[in-house]
Chain A
């Protein structure tokens, strides 16, 4: 570590405990950072595209995840390096914003940094590189706008949407039943979508998983699913037009908070007590019955006597429903949570079209499904799978498909996939770079080159000769002026992505390029890394 000395030869202390800290400066720092980022990108590179390979990740507890979803891999990898963490964040923000293209964004950032390194070696200043990249990104942005097309679908004709979701799902573990899954996703999105405002609230779609059964048993429920069963095994399993009393008080005689004692000293009192006790139960049931409820959902338990009385009075009941679920049910059904029996009245009841208990498979698993809730459009996709690993991966895949459907509802502009958009942008940036004076020209060319990394990786992962296929497609695009040409990953014999039905949303692609450029700029600007030495 270099230290400055004053005129008496004493070291000048700028940073506290400078001796015990590791410090990397200048070009060296940039190179180290680029290297770290590239390492992360290299791991993900082979997972890009429909034929991308999977990664097997073992968590600290020994649980297994097999995935080719960029965000998931990075999240579970537990990256320790600071720059590596930046890329993890990058992929996560793409996931949150768009939900798809999480691998692509990291690969693009990695490739941009790789190009930047060459320029730095030539002695270009990092800031100039960053600026060149920025300019190039702007050009690419405009190109994307110009090549985008509108995607047609309507509430009646969902087929195109389903096809799109199927494309997303085909690279995932669920491809065996992608048709069903795609339908569920589209239906779920359409159920909660506000087509007027072009808005979809994904919070209303709950993806619930339960281990057991097979993926084919996955189902879409227009309502809420609660992992409970009816309190008495012989209560009706289906309730139509349910009026739900949502209670947070137990079916028990009251327990006053003040300390008290009831003294019994005669037989009469003893018998009276017994009567009162019975009356309590009868009253409680009567209050429920009088309010017009035909289903009781209770946060607490009830004892055998109350249970049987409820059954006798044809009041099906669900007990021990958790606080969060109680709230959810109350919100969805428009009911009020009632803390005392006396307060129970008809206007406080929640309403639902149908409540039923469904059982699954050979194992005795029951769940309560509340459908057609009065207030909310909430839907649940109930995912089933043989084990936790498959279940989690299915949930993630469904999330991706849901996001794709949502994005299309929000904005139906699309660009074609298979690397065609990247090739088109690369050509445009290349052309634009020639008109730029100054060193930025080099940076822009580097950007164009970096964009090629995506189709290259796609071709490589699909088992094609990467450089050959890329140059062929590029030449074809220039010759025919057709920006829909991309890499034929699925070996279908055509390079036209419109025919292959492979496309991505415009927002997704734009976001990908923007985010990648931003992160690269950020990394390039760092010229000093100080770490406490004991840490590394």
Chain B
């Protein structure tokens, strides 16, 4: 007890980091995470290979920030905060998962310098908050809304899709995929529910051969000998056992005295099934889809009646089918007149690659569509799906907030300029924090340029000079490696995503800055 602290306040294995040490360890942890994903930012960002720990050691190749951060195991508490915000960003808007982490990392890097200058963390936080509000205002002023003009609205969406996809694996075919994503989202007519957009991945072919199919595609097979193509289909969606009806009365068993009776019972069973099938057919349908298995016997009965029977459509598929065809999920068949039957114009079996799939086109609910992704390997397909999902999320969010801002670092430069103007007018130490915020914002285009192998310092200096004039829309055109007018390059981003990135990153920074004490409890003893 000589050192002034009682030696047994906490458990022996627990650790406590205080004040400067605590701050240092959270800065280092957070920046390490930010540096990890930094290189994946932008259209020329690099990918990461993730190898899973579990059996099989599956490999994922991705440059999606959320996916990377989700898969790595971090121990540093501050780093966990950053992983969390990237997840939140993913849930809320679906894109900008890397940017948010990188921005938070840069903000912390700047904050560290300020802390070393003996600025109180609370002062920094206050400065950051004011700077964020100023930046949001600048961003709002910059944003344009084309919701009234459908032509321009669509144009905006295409541009956003292109910008989002350009940083992903789909960048080579971004024209194709952005068109595809916009078409799919436009079908939703303002809903943000991505459920009715289905993605089917089939290996083979090239990414370019992916296409959007209007209607619903079910990855199942049609029973043997049944019609492969039905026009004006009447569909009964059911969830019923089509083997033998189990006897549900507890304790019942069949006991017979001889072979003849066994035969009779078997016959009765068959009759029962035949009746059931007859009842189903009596609904006046020509397509029957069941969630459960259809045994050979009833299948044969359906074939005889010329009804298409599809078995074992999983629960999701059934619900979706019921939704898109407008039918109901049926389990009893006694009142054919009451049952609602789904309809669609055409059911046919199609071939994608070597697999047979069933397509329902011309369905009642126009929102549904299916995107079929083709690609050389499962890794590519997985990554393509993730990228497309990001784009779809962003686009569907456009329905709630259709404002767009300019990308290519243009909006960052404008925001940082607005903050610097504010800092000049602000008395007190807060202004230092604001300047740091502006500097951190400028780092984003710098990193994007750096990842593209460009001279970031030079470009940023040029940009800054250009942005002295108000109303300047210059940004970095990464493809040519020069400074250019963003209105002409067509690099747009969704306002909502940008806003989310800004506010979440500031919030996370604040959260980490406010910590002055880290207490790690002793790890729970696990029995080996």
Which residues of chain A have a CB within 8 Å of any CB of chain B? 32, 35-36, 39-40, 43, 46, 51, 53-62, 64, 66, 68, 73, 76-81, 84, 173, 176, 212-214, 232-234, 252-256, 259-267, 270-271, 273-274, 276-277, 280, 303-305, 307-309, 311-312, 361-364, 386-387, 389-390, 461-463, 536
Q: Which of B34-42, B81-89, B211-219 contacts A (4 or more CB under 8 A)?
A: B81-89
Which residue in A253, A267, A277, A461 is a CB contact (below 8 Å) of B268?
A267
B residues within 8 A CB of A280?
Answer: 248-249
Tell me, in angstroms, the Cα distance from A253 to B4 when the chains sit together.
Answer: 73
Contact A58 B6, beta carbon cutoff 8 Å: no
Given A56-B78, A387-B84, are A266 and B239 neighbors across the interface (CB < 8 Å)?
no
Q: What per-residue 1/0 map shows which CB atoms of B203-247 lie under 8 Å from chain A?
A: 000000000000000000000000000000000000111000101
CA–CA, A389 and B515, complex, Å: 15
- Enumerate the 3 nearest inter-chain pairs by beta-carbon distance, A residue then B residue, closest first: A386-B88, A308-B331, A60-B524
With the chains together, A64 CA to B257 CA distance in Å? Answer: 69
Which residue of chain B lies nearest to A82 when distances are taken between CB atoms in the complex?
Answer: B8
> Using Cβ atoms and an 8 Å threshold, which residues of chain B touch A234?
322, 328-329
Residues of A within 8 A of B194 (CB): 362
Which residue of chain B has its CB nearest to the CB of A173? Answer: B511
16 A-B interface contacts by CB (under 8 A): A36-B6, A39-B9, A56-B515, A56-B517, A57-B519, A66-B511, A234-B329, A259-B251, A260-B251, A264-B252, A265-B254, A276-B249, A277-B248, A308-B331, A309-B332, A386-B87
Partner of B193, one of A84, A254, A270, A362: A362
| A213 CB contact (under 8 Å) in B91, B240, B338 | B91
User: Would you call A266 and B264 a contact (CB within 8 A)?
Assistant: yes
Task: Specify which chain A residues have a CB less than 8 angstroms from the CB of B268 in the assembled complex.
Answer: 267, 270-271
Bound Cα distance A60, B328 (Å): 50
Q: Is there contact, CB below 8 Å, between A39 and B261?
A: no
Contact at B14–A78, with CB atoms within 8 Å? yes
Whether the Cβ atoms of B514 and A53 lie closer than 8 Å is yes
Question: Are B328 and A80 in touch, CB under 8 angstroms?
Answer: no
**A308 surroundings in chain B (CB, below 8 A):** 239, 329-332
Q: How far is the CA of A387 from the CA of B511 in the complex (A)?
A: 14
Q: Is the CB of B267 within 8 A of A267?
A: yes
Do residues B261 and A361 form an inter-chain contact, with CB atoms below 8 A? no
The reply to whether the CB of B92 lies closer than 8 angstroms to some CB of chain A is yes
CB-contact partner of B265 in A264, A312, A461, under 8 A: A264
A233 to B329 Cα, complex, angstroms: 8
**Is B255 at the interface (CB under 8 A from chain A)?**
yes
Measured CA separation A46–B116 after assembly (Å): 19
A252 / chain B contacts, CB cutoff of 8 Å: 248
With both beta carbons as reference points, the residue of chain A lying nearest to B14 in the complex is identified as A78
* A residues near B522, Cβ cutoff 8 Å: 60, 78
A80-B9, A233-B322, A270-B265 given as contacts; is B251 within 8 A of A261 (CB)?
A: yes
| Contact between A66 and B250, CB atoms less than 8 A apart | no
Q: Is B57 an interface residue (CB 8 A)?
A: no
Binding-face segment, B117-125, B174-182, B456-464: B117-125
- Indicate if the CB atoms of A46 and B9 lie closer than 8 Å: no
* B54 contacts partner chain A, Cβ-Cβ < 8 Å: no
Q: In the complex, how many residues of chain B place their beta carbon closer than 8 angstroms to a beta carbon of chain A?
A: 78
CA distance A51 to B516 in the complex (A): 12
A266 to chain B, nearest CB (A): 7
Given contacts A66-B511, A80-B9, A277-B248, contact A264 B255 (CB under 8 A): yes
Within 8 Å of chain A (Cβ to Cβ): is B479?
no
Given A303-B248, A305-B332, A309-B332, CB of A265 within 8 Å of CB of B257: yes
Residue of B nearest to A309 (CB): B332
B97 at the interface (CB under 8 A from A): no
* Closest chain B CB from A532 CB (angstroms): 13
B22 at the interface (CB under 8 A from A): yes
**A contact residues around B338 at 8 Å (CB):** 312
In the complex, are the beta carbons of A463 and B261 less than 8 A apart?
no
* In the complex, residue of chain B having the shortest beta-carbon distance to the beta carbon of A216: B92
Q: Is the CB of B6 within 8 A of A273?
A: no
Tell me the minimal C-beta distance from A177 to chain B in angstroms: 11
Please report B residues at the A interface, Cβ cutoff 8 Å: 1, 4-11, 14, 22, 26, 75, 77-78, 80-81, 84-85, 87-88, 91-92, 94, 120-123, 192-195, 239-241, 245, 247-257, 261, 264-265, 267-269, 272, 319, 322, 328-332, 335, 338, 393, 503, 507, 511, 514-524
A490's closest neighbor in chain B, by CB? Answer: B126
Min C-beta distance of A505 to chain B, whole Å: 26
Assess whether A262 is in contact with B252, with CB atoms less than 8 Å apart: yes
> Could you tell me if B254 and A264 are in contact, using CB atoms closer than 8 angstroms?
yes
Q: Which residues of B contact A254 (CB under 8 A)?
A: 250
Closest-CB distance, B234 to chain A (whole angstroms): 18
How far does the Cβ of B2 sit from chain A's closest Cβ, in whole Å? Answer: 12
**When the two chains form their complex, are residues A43 and B517 in contact, meaning their CB atoms are under 8 A apart?**
yes
Contact A64 B322 (CB under 8 A): no
In the assembled complex, the Cα of A271 lies from the Cα of B121 at a distance in Å of: 80
Bound CA–CA A503/B344 (angstroms): 66
Find A55's partner among B88, B255, B272, B518 (CB 8 Å cutoff).
B518
Measured CA separation A452–B504 after assembly (Å)? 38
With A304-B331, A386-B91 given, name 16 new contacts (CB 8 A): A43-B517, A56-B77, A57-B520, A58-B521, A60-B523, A62-B523, A76-B521, A78-B10, A81-B10, A176-B507, A234-B328, A265-B255, A265-B257, A273-B247, A461-B122, A536-B8
Do residues A304 and B255 form an inter-chain contact, with CB atoms below 8 A?
A: no
> Which residue of chain A lies nearest to B334 when distances are taken between CB atoms in the complex?
A278
Q: Which residues does chain A contribute within 8 Å of B264, judged by CB atoms? A: 266-267
Cβ-defined contact, A78 with B515, below 8 A: no
Instruction: Note all chain B residues with C-beta closer than 8 A to A274.
Output: 245, 247, 272
Q: Which of B91, B240, B247, B250 contacts A363 (CB 8 A)?
A: B91
Residues of chain A lying within 8 A (CB to CB) of residue B516? 46, 53-55
The residues of B that contact A35 with a CB separation of less than 8 Å are 1, 4-6
Inter-chain contact A264/B253, CB cutoff 8 Å:
yes
B254 near A270 with CB under 8 A, answer: yes
Given known pairs A51-B122, A60-B522, A80-B10, the reply for A232 and B329 (CB within 8 Å) is: yes
B335 in contact with A312 (CB, 8 Å): yes
Which chain A residues border B332 with CB–CB below 8 Å? 305, 308-309, 312
A158 to chain B, nearest CB (A): 27
Whole-angstrom CA separation of A426 from B452 in the bound complex = 65
Known: A35-B6, A55-B519, A233-B329. A262 touches B81 (CB 8 A): no
Q: How close is A447's CB to chain B, nearest CB, in angstroms?
A: 25
- The answer to whether B331 and A389 touch across the interface, beta carbons within 8 angstroms, is no
Least Cβ distance of A199 to chain B in Å?
A: 37
Return chain A residues, CB-CB under 8 Å to B1: 32, 35
Complex CA distance for A305 and B330, rounded to whole angstroms: 9
Question: Given the complex, which residues of A lie within 8 Å of B245, measured CB to CB?
Answer: 274
Contact A362 B81 (CB under 8 A): no
Knowing A56-B26, A56-B517 touch, does A304 contact B239 (C-beta < 8 A)?
yes
Q: How far is the CB of B330 from chain A (nearest CB, A)?
A: 6
- Give the distance in Å from the alpha carbon of A232 to the alpha carbon of B331 in the complex: 11
Minimal beta-carbon separation of B333 from chain A (angstroms): 9
CA distance in complex: A304, B519 (Å): 52
Known contacts A277-B247, A304-B239; decide if A462 and B328 are in contact (CB<8 Å).
no
A66 to B91, CA, bound (A): 21
A463 to B127, CA, bound (A): 13
- Once the chains are docked, how many angstroms separate the CA of A309 from the CA of B338? 12
A304 vs B331: C-alpha distance when bound (angstroms): 6
Checking B77, B195, B267, B503 against A58 with a beta-carbon cut-off of 8 angstroms, the contacting residue is B77
Q: From known contacts A266-B261, A386-B87, A386-B91, infer whether A32 and B255 are also in contact, taking CB-CB under 8 Å.
A: no
CA A264 – CA B5 in complex, angstroms? 82
